[in-house]
Structure 1
Amino acid sequence: MKKNWLWPVMAAGLFISACGAETAEDPTDTATESAEETETASAVDSAAMELEVPFDGVMDHVHGMGYIEENGGLYFASHHGLKVHRDGKWTEIEDQYHDFMGFNATATGFVTSGHPDMQSGMQNPLGIKRSDDGGETFDDLGFEGETDFHEMAVGYNTNNLFVFNPQANSEMETGFHRSDDAGETWQQTAAEGLDGKVTYLAMHPDDSMMIAAASNQGIFLSEDGGESFSRITEGELGTAAFFSEDALYYATYSEEAKLVKRDLSGGEEEISLPEMTEDGVVYVAQHPENPEQLAIYTAKGHAWQTQDAGENWTQILNAGQVQ
């Protein structure tokens, strides 16, 4: 018999070839540019990590997880701020204890919604915010004091967005909307074919027309920016979705948890998961520089990492307690 314990847990929110140059480059110029880029990246990394302090506690109500390429950390968006796993150690962002919702890591930072720390002076709810300095400062993308977006997808490299708006606000009617200019303007989409209660949305890192949704009716895929969706699973609860450049990773639950890699060029393969008892994957992330390094977070607050595409897993969270 199909177990129905997972859906109420998720719904409650316990749980996202170059062309050759026409003229030859001066090797000295190239070396100088590379050095400058490295120095800039290092400065960003250092600034972000200066905000972090050691963390050795329990995190609850995680509402998103992802690797930020600029500083190499695996970020968890929790009820009490951001927690970071990096090089086997845990830290948290000091003095930024917002209740993050709809969290999406990007190449340079993250985009989020949620509720502010009472000491921050921000309006509640947050609307949509973007940070490119590890959470020290936030750019306002709108809807502050109006809307808390629980279901939100962001392009990792584009910062374009696809959201579900739960009720009408100053710019949006209720329903699904997308922004093809990183939050400057919005347009509503029909989302035809998308059935059930949606708990998670994902957008391709570069192609903003490609969107996936996880719902209690399965996993759905759109290739036209959310105007229409096709169901790609049958008879399973959809629990998570994540795009790499060349694949859609999705998680489902029926009699047991399952994680699948679906190549965008065709074909699927199931990825082995660590042993789980009545538990399912609700967030998936892939390291931007190492495609075999994956991380998962589950409905019961466990998290694992693998360095070899699922052959071996190391637990880094046990019921919310850092390991």
Structure 2
Amino acid sequence: MKKQRKTIGGLLSLLLLAGCSGEAQDSFEVPFEGEMDHVHGMGYAGNEDGLYFASHTGLKIYREGEWFETTDNFHDYMGFNATDEGFVTSGHPSADSELPNPLGIQRSVDGGKTIEEIAFQGETDFHAMAVGYTSQDLFLINPASNSLLEAGVYSNSAEGESWQPVQADGLEGEVAALALHPADSNLVAAATSTGIYFSKDAGETFQSLTPEGERGTAVHFTEEGLYFGSYGTAAALMQYTVENEELEPLNMPDLPDDAIAFIAENPTDDQELAFYTLQGHAYLSEDGTQNWKALLQNGKPQ
């Protein structure tokens, strides 16, 4: 398969900001026909059928060829991670919410109808945060001191109660995205301004997977390995297999003046892969990246 430009500095700025058939299942969702911007994450959230996009104004959902949006909880979700139970997120509450700002770390198990606090509500907005899809473990960068943590890198086993500092030796550059393996939290990945980094020891040490001068833009773990987006002379989509340490370039649409910001594989169908870009485009492949269809163009549903 084959590997498939604002300036590179502009792309990084966009990245760090980004890192700012059927009817709806119930009345919490209605058809979405507007425009989506400031997406801060995407993924297949738990038992809720569909691909969820965490936008500046709440959740948007692509399901069986149709688009939906929620009728409440228009929170500005940051650090959004889909899990097998729903999703874990940070960010800021909507203008009509009584929740403290920032949200800290919150969890939803009902498609976003309700959220419950895990930790740091009213204290910290976590942009760089990863959650194991099935383990529910957390790995994050704390940007500033709060009631429990100094600034730095930390991991946690599922419930947000016991935080462990992480050395993160070898991790360089400004971190735009983090990813944690679905079940094995020894496997961590990061996309930074200097490349894609991979750890086999729970983030204590990292090694680079990309050539010097290439920027990392997105990371997403599956059971078998790591999908990542990068930008050298053009946007690229790659797959890294953990078992044999092989890198494979994947077919992708042409992305002039753009790069991948988020990647998500359907956990029930390994042929279904989606990504969202810094310029507000989204694409979906249902045949293992051989063919792609546009879901969004400049933030507008297709």
User: TM-score interval w.r.t. the shorter chain?
Assistant: over 0.9
Show CA shifts across 1:164-214 (max 9, x none).
000000011101111023322211111111000000000000001111000
Is 1:286 the counterpart of 2:265? The answer is yes
Show CA shifts across 1:94-120 (max 9, x none).
111000000000112000000001212
Which position in structure 1 is the counterpart of 2:185? 208
Which position in structure 2 is the counterpart of 1:182? 159
SS of the equivalent of 2:119 reads coil
Which position in structure 2 is the counterpart of 1:95? 72
Contact (CA 8 Å) 1:14, 1:299: kept in 2 or not?
A: no
Q: 1:298 aligns with which of 272, 277, 284?
A: 277
Is 1:142 the counterpart of 2:119? The answer is yes
Runs of 5+ in structure 2 lacking a partner? Answer: none
Is 1:249 the counterpart of 2:227? The answer is yes
Contact (CA 8 Å) 1:125, 1:146: kept in 2 or not?
A: yes
Is 1:317 the counterpart of 2:299? The answer is no
Scaled by the length of structure 1, the TM-score of the pair is 0.87
Alignment partners' CA distance in 2, 1:50 and 1:230: 47
SS of the equivalent of 2:271 reads strand
Alignment partners' CA distance in 2, 1:279 and 1:49: 36
Alignment partners' CA distance in 1, 2:179 and 2:80: 11
Alignment partners' CA distance in 2, 1:247 and 1:312: 21
Question: What is the letter of the counterpart of residue 135 of structure 1?
Answer: G
Contact (CA 8 Å) 1:49, 1:134: kept in 2 or not?
A: no
The answer to which of 200-209 and 227-236 deviates more is: 227-236
Alignment partners' CA distance in 2, 1:48 and 1:149: 30
Which position in structure 2 is the counterpart of 1:37? none
Contact (CA 8 Å) 2:24, 2:68: kept in 1 or not?
A: no
CA-based RMSD = 1.7
**1:289 Cα deviation after fit:** 1.0
**1:47 Cα deviation after fit:** 11
Q: How does 1:99-138 map to 2 (within 5 A)?
A: 99-138=76-115
Alignment partners' CA distance in 1, 2:197 and 2:19: 22
Where relative contact order (Cα < 8 A, 6+ residues apart) is larger, the structure is 2
Is 1:158 the counterpart of 2:135? The answer is yes
Is 1:11 the counterpart of 2:27? The answer is no
CA distance change for structure 1 residues 222 and 48 in 2, over 3 Å: closer, same or farther?
farther
Runs of 5+ in structure 1 lacking a partner? Answer: 16-45
Contact (CA 8 Å) 1:48, 1:71: kept in 2 or not?
A: no
Question: Which one has a bigger Cα radius of gyration?
Answer: 1
Alignment partners' CA distance in 1, 2:17 and 2:48: 32
**1:9 Cα deviation after fit:** 1.5
CA distance change for structure 1 residues 138 and 66 in 2, over 3 Å: closer, same or farther?
same
Question: What is the letter of the counterpart of residue 44 of structure 2?
Answer: Y
CA distance change for structure 1 residues 215 and 49 in 2, over 3 Å: closer, same or farther?
farther
CA distance change for structure 1 residues 315 and 285 in 2, over 3 Å: closer, same or farther?
same
Contact (CA 8 Å) 1:48, 1:135: kept in 2 or not?
A: no
SS of the equivalent of 1:290 reads coil
Which position in structure 1 is the counterpart of 2:145? 168
Alignment partners' CA distance in 1, 2:82 and 2:254: 27
Contact (CA 8 Å) 2:285, 2:292: kept in 1 or not?
A: yes
Contact (CA 8 Å) 2:87, 2:109: kept in 1 or not?
A: yes
Q: How does 1:258-273 map to 2 (within 5 A)?
A: 258-266=236-244, 267-273=246-252
Which position in structure 2 is the counterpart of 1:84? 61
